[in-house]
Amino acid sequence: MSKELEICDSTGKPQARRLLTKLIAALPWLSDNEFFNWSDVVSCSSSKLFCGDCLMREYNPVSSIAVLFLLTLCAFGQAAPNSKNGLSGSLSELNPGVAVEKIAKDSEAEKAGMQTSDIIISWARGDAGSQIESPFDLLWLELEQKPRGRVTLEGLRGTEPRTWILGPDTWGIQARPNFVGSFLSIYQDGMELAKSGKVTQGVAHWRTAEVEAQRSQPPWLPVWFSLRAAQLLANAQQRNEADALYQDSIEQATHADSHVLAYLLWVRAALFEQRSDRTNAETYYQRALTESRKSGSETLIAAENLTSLGSLNWRRGDLVRAEEYHLQAMVIREKLAPGSLVMANSLTNLGYVSADRGDLAAAEDYLRQALEIREKIAPGSWGISGTREGLGSVAGQRGALMRAEDYLRRSLAIREKLAAGGTGVASALGNLGNVLFYRGDLDKAEDY
């Protein structure tokens, strides 16, 4: 029996139709397939047959995601034939704030008493403050406002008002939109499918919500669904499929606020850097920097992008450009957030660059300034351990072996407390052993 794939049109949504057309155009094999008749688009009918299982077996995962996405749209169209839009009206329900999904251990959020399922609605820092409408707002808040001082978050636990005061270290909050109704059901169903190993089906679920969000919701919501789908695929090691969705989310973000697009470009750059594709990484970091400057050339988010460019060039061995970028970032941070942890980060980065350039005196000066800030703001933190390790390395290169040993022992003590048995502890033990070896204490060096 011949089989023909015909796309359901019962939803009656022009934007959905345009997205389907875009998907078909992106999949040449489908438009050329003898079983597919794009010109004859009709409502779902039992007289039309299509074997999705065959497609799943015979074609690549990108194609499978696309077809599952199309078929899921058809299913929605059939499920609500009397609905004007083919989808439940509750799908458009989006409540204020964001819902907390996860909280990192030992994070500022955990210390402040925040819990999963809490709703964060607004923020304040001194005279500044605003509503939190999306997860992207929360990301912006941590990058742009956290370094300037403690931030107060207000929201709900159930129906009870709650307030959380978050400090300067990592907040550790993963949040989702505060949606309800069908949006929430689709999202949760997608999560369950992914957890059971059905990542492709989970992604198809989320893309149906993305289509509806494009029709009537704020511009950031379809971007968020696309980004989460891309992250799901990336975690499942489906790189090509993830890349396609990352690019799709970037294209959609051009219609959202500039900080949304800047964040997506930064995420894309970081992924390229993880793959050692430094050319593309630099391109996307530069694009992220340009976008972040649309709200002003001197922002802490712009400084974050400058730092990423500096670190990228340091790793590729271009110390001159690395220093230039880190200096630009430090100037912004010194003006907007003096004495902050991000200022300490800039000083630490410049210390490493100076050490590699052979200017050990400058390296030690930068690292000491960074250590002073960290000891004041975040004593006993991992950042202090790293700075002390850097100072120990510089002291060792300058021949001050006793001072080097002291820095490294204190660095090791923090790491053993925070992550006993981790790779950071092993690194600290190795460095300490090297110093003891050069001091002539061979027995102790061998122990380490």
Express each pLDDT in 217-235 by its tens digit: 899 999 999 999 999 999 9
Q: How far apart are CA 285 and CA 273, in angstroms?
A: 10
Percent of the chain with pLDDT over 90: 59
- Where is pLDDT greater, at 443 or 122? 122
pLDDT at 85 over 70: no
Kindly report the number of other CB atoms within 10 A of residue 15's CB atom.
15
DSSP structure string for 369-413: HHHHHHHHHSTT-HHHHHHHHHHHHHHHHTT-HHHHHHHHHHHHH
Instruction: Report the C-alpha gap between 150 and 380 in whole angstroms.
Output: 19
Higher-pLDDT residue of 190, 87: 190
Distance (Å, rounded) from C-alpha 286 to C-alpha 318? Answer: 16
Q: What is the dihedral of CA 178, 184, 188, 190, to 10 degrees?
A: -110
For residues 109 and 126, what is the distance between their CA atoms, to the nearest angstrom?
A: 19
Q: Walk me through the domains of the chain, giving residue ranges and CATH numbers.
A: 14-79 (no CATH), 93-178 (2.30.42.10)
Q: What's the chain's average pLDDT?
A: 81
Confidence check: pLDDT of 60 > 50:
no
Distance CA 69, CA 56 (A): 13
Tens of pLDDT, residues 36-45 = 444 333 333 3
Residue 40 confidence (pLDDT):
36
Query: In angstroms, rounded to a whole number, what is the distance separating the alpha carbons of residues 346 and 381?
Result: 17
Query: Could you tell me if 164 and 152 are in contact, meaning their C-beta atoms sit under 8 angstroms apart?
Result: yes
CA pair distance 170, 165, nearest whole angstrom: 13
Rounded to whole angstroms, the Cα distance separating 304 from 307 reads 5
pTM tops 0.85, yes or no: no
The three-state secondary structure class of 178 is strand
* Residues 224, 135 contacting (CB under 8 angstroms): yes
Residues in the chain: 448
Higher pLDDT, 445 or 385: 385
Label residue 195 exposed, middle or buried (CB < 10 Å: 0-12, 13-18, 19+). Answer: exposed
Select from 73, 75, 52, 101 the least CA-distant residue to 207: 73
Nearby residues of 412 by Cβ (< 8 Å), 6 or more positions away:
385, 425, 428, 429, 432
* Residue the block writes with tokens 């969705």: 245
3-class SS at 154?
A: strand
Give the list of residues 6+ apart from residue 33 with CB closer than 8 angstroms, or none. 5
User: In a 3-state reduction of DSSP, which class is residue 99?
Assistant: strand
Per-residue pLDDT reduced to its tens digit, 301-337: 999 999 999 999 999 999 999 999 999 999 999 999 9
The reported pLDDT for the residue numbered 156 is 97
| pLDDT at site 230 | 95
What pLDDT, on the 0 to 100 scale, is given for residue 31?
Answer: 43
Report the alpha-carbon distance of residue 264 to residue 284 in Å, rounded.
9
Q: What is the pLDDT of residue 429?
A: 65
